[in-house]
A and B are shown apart, each in its own frame.
Chain A
Amino acid sequence: MNDLVHLDSTQVPFIKVHLKNGGVSILQNWQVYAEQDCLKGIGIEWDYNREVKYEGDLAYVFDEVTLLETNNYSVLQSLDQSRFSALALITGVNMALTIMCATNPKACWGSCPTFFIGNNNKLLETRAEGFSSAITPSMEMKDIDALRTVTTESYLNLIMTNEALETHVVNQLSLLAVKTAQHESAFVDQDNRFYTAEHPMSPSSVSVNDHNILPQLCASDGIEYFSESDHDDLSVKEEIIMRFNTNSSAPKGIVLQYRQTLLTTFLLYTGYSYMGNEVGDFLSQIERDESKRKMVSKPYELLGGIEISYYCLKNKKWKKVDEIYETGPIASNQVLVPLPDNMIIGDDLHLKINMTRGLWRLDYIGLSHNIVEADAEIVHPCACLSYDKSMDKELLSLVCDNDADYLVSLPGERYHFVFELPALPAEYSNTVFLLSKGYYLEWIRSEWMQYKDHKRLKRMLMNHAGEWKALAREFKLVEDDMERAFWNSRLRESFK
C-alpha cells in the first residue's frame, strides 16, 4: 500500500481500493492526503456483492482500506484487429465472386458428364463429354466420342465426373475398340461408322481471309483456331480455305478435331434464364410436346455446324461434302468426314470449311488416305468404383446395357470404370471410343431468375432478327471473359 500511495497519480490513472468491509472502489483523478491519512478521488464504490453503492467524489481513510491495487492492462489488448482483417479479406473475395456471378451468371460451368482416361488415379485432359445436347429425358441420346487413346494394354481406366451443377442420368456406358495396325489410325464419322486409315497428313496451307492459321491446326496439341463472334449477328459465317498436297485417288477422309466455344452455353443459359421461375413448366412442355422440342433446336439450326466442301475442278465450283455438329465446349471431338470417291481434284486437294464465327474452336485438321470401314468391338465395363472408392456391382449393372436402369450422378461425384479390352495379335493396338447414352438436367441458378422474360424467350426461339441482334451484343460483352470464368467455375474441389 505504501508503494502505491507514494506513486504519482498522474502516472497511475486509476486505482482500485479494496475495503475491509469487502467493498471495492475504482478511483480516477485520485490523490493522497497524507495529513488527513486519506485517499480521495472520483469513481464508483461497489459493495461485497459488487452492487454499486456510491458514484462520484469518494474519500477513504486508510484504516478502512485493506489493499490498494493498480494494474497495467495494456497487455490485455483486444485481438479483434486481426479477426476483422481476416473477415474483411474473405468478405472481399465473397463480394468479388458475387459481383462476378451477378454480372456474368451464365459463365458458370455446365458440362454434362466429362470423361478422363485415368492412370494411377491421376487425371489427364478431358477426353470426352457425353450426350451434351440431351437436356431433358425425352432428348436422351447416344453419343460416340473418340477418346484419342491407342493402347496395347489389357485394361483401360475411365473416370466419369460430374463437374457442374447438373444431374447426370446415364443409361449406358461402353467402349468401342477398333483394332489398328501400327501404320493406321482409327476414326469415327458423324453417323457412328468406324474407319481405319493411314495416319493423317497436315495441310500445306490453311487460311482465313488470307491469314495463315496453319500453326494452330497442324497438330492436335490444344492450340486452337477460333474467331470472335460478330457484334450484331451471331450467325455470320467465316470461310477457312485449305490445301493438301495429294493427287491420290485412294479413298480419303478429312479428320477434324474441334469443340464449341461458349456461345451455345450462353444461349442455353440465356434460354433458361428467360424461362425464370417457370423453367420447370417449360421443360415439362418440351418433354410432352414434340413441336416444342423442335422449337428449342431452332436457334442451333440458325448457328449451323461445320460445313465441309471440296473444290471440283470439273465444274470449277465448291461442292458440299458434309456438315458436322457436336455440342459441347469442353472436350475436343475428333471425327472423320469421308470425301467422295469420284472427286476430280487435280494436283492438290482444295477444301473449304464454312462455320459460324465465334462458335467453334478448331484444334486439328488433317487428311487420311486409304480409309476403310472397320468393325468396332463393344466393351462393357468390368468393374466400377463409386466416388467413395468402393467397388459397386450395382452401379455397373446400371450402365452396362441400354435399358430402363440409369446411373444418377450428382455434382462433385466421380466414378471409376474399368474395361477389359479385346486381346490383340502382335503389333496391333486398340483405338478406343466411348459410347455414352443418357441425358442431363441443368440446376437452375438463382441468379438466372432475375432475367425472366417470356417475350424474349419466344422471340429467341423463333429466331427473331431483333432478338438475335440483342443476344449478339450481350454475348459480345462477356465473350472475352467467359472462357476463363467458365473453366474457373469447374467443380473439382470435391474430387479426392
Chain B
Amino acid sequence: MNKVFFIIAHCIIFMACSPMWHLPKPNEMEQYVFGSYFKGTEIEERRYVEGEIICIDDSTMTLMTLNNKKNTIVLIKKHHVKDGLIYVALSSNNANSISMWSSANMLLPLSHGAYGVITLPLNIIVGAGISYDTALSPYSIMYPSDISWNQMNKFARFPGGLPEGVKIEDIKLR
C-alpha cells in the first residue's frame, strides 16, 4: 500500500511542477504557434532552468517562464547547459476523459463486497498508473543525446531568432 501512496504522491508533486499546462495535445500540434518547453540543468549557477523556448542563437537560449505570476526571462549560455529535455506535446488527446474514467472505475469496487479488498487497490494502482502515464508522459527530446544545439531552434517560438523591433519584455507566455 505504501507503494501506491508513493506513486500518488509522486504523481501530485510531479504534476505540480510539470510543464503540462503549456503543452499542446497531439491533435493540436498543427495549429500550435508557441515554442516548446525546455527543462534543463545549468552548470554555471547550479540550478534547474525551465520555460518556453523563445529563441536560440549559436551561443544563447532564451527561455520565458512564469515566476510569481510574472513573465521572467532566463538566458542560458550554450556551454552552461549540461543537459535538458524539450517537451514537445502531450501524448493524450483525452486526458480529462481518461482521468474521469479512472476515477469512476475506483468507485466500482465499493459494490464488490469482500472482493473489494482486492479490486480496490487493483483499480487504484491501474487507474493511477494510467492517469500518471496520460498526464506525465509527454513527447520529449533529450539534449544533447538526441538533438544538437543548432537543431533546437526549430522548437523555439521564433526559430529565426528574436524579431527586430520586438522587445523581449513585451512577450507574453501562453
Contact = CB atoms under 8 A, between A and B. Distances in A.
A406 to B, nearest CB: 23
Nearest to B95: A80
Nearest to A28: B30
Which of A20, A78, A109, A445 is the most central at the interface, judged by chain B CB atoms within 10 Å of its CB? A78
B105 A105 contact: no
A208 B111 CA distance: 42
User: Interface extent on A, as a size class?
Assistant: 35 or more
Contacts of A412: 117
B33 interface: yes
B166 interface: yes
A94 B112 CA distance: 8
Contact of B98 (A14, A80, A94, A489): A80
Contact of B117 (A69, A77, A411): A411
Contacts, number: 141
A14 B30 contact: yes
A26 interface: yes
User: Interface extent on B, as a size class?
Assistant: 35 or more
Interface in B29-48: 29-31, 33-34
Contacts of A108: 113-115
B159 A69 contact: yes
Interface of B: 25-27, 29-31, 33-34, 88-89, 91-94, 98, 101-102, 105, 108-115, 117-119, 122-123, 126-127, 130, 133-134, 137, 139, 154, 157-160, 162-166, 170-172, 174
Contact of A90 (B27, B105, B165, B174): B105
A489 B114 contact: yes
Contacts of B102: 87
A119 B27 CA distance: 60
Contacts of B163: 19-22, 48, 66
A165 B108 contact: no
Interface string A71-108: 10100111110011011001101110110011001001
A84 B154 CA distance: 33
A50 B91 CA distance: 23
A323 interface: no
20 contacts: A14-B30, A20-B163, A22-B163, A46-B33, A48-B163, A49-B172, A80-B92, A80-B98, A83-B130, A83-B133, A83-B134, A91-B105, A93-B119, A102-B111, A109-B114, A165-B117, A411-B114, A447-B111, A488-B115, A489-B115
A78 B160 contact: no
A73 B26 contact: yes
Interface of A: 14, 16, 18-22, 24, 26, 44, 46, 48-50, 66-67, 69, 71, 73, 76-80, 83-84, 86-87, 90-91, 93-95, 97-98, 101-102, 105, 108-109, 164-165, 411-412, 445-447, 488-491, 493-494
Contact of B158 (A22, A46, A94): A22
Given A22-B158, A78-B92, A447-B111, 6 more contacts: A18-B159, A22-B166, A80-B98, A83-B98, A97-B112, A494-B117
Given A66-B160, A79-B137, A94 B94 contact: no
Contacts of A76: 26, 29, 88-89, 139
Contact of A48 (B27, B89, B166): B166
Given A22-B158, A48-B171, A50-B174, A445 B113 contact: yes
A49 B94 CA distance: 27
A18 B139 CA distance: 24
Contacts of A66: 160, 163
B76 to A, nearest CB: 21
A86 B111 CA distance: 21
B94 A78 contact: yes
B119 A94 contact: yes
A17 B101 CA distance: 39
A78 B25 contact: yes
Contacts of A164: 114
Given A22-B166, A76-B29, A87-B98, A447 B130 contact: no
A26 B117 contact: no
A71 B117 CA distance: 50
B101 A87 contact: yes
Contact of B111 (A69, A84, A446, A491): A446
A90 B93 contact: no
B159 A67 contact: yes
A77 B123 CA distance: 26
B33 A50 contact: yes
A97 B119 contact: yes
Contacts of A165: 113-114, 117
Nearest to A97: B112
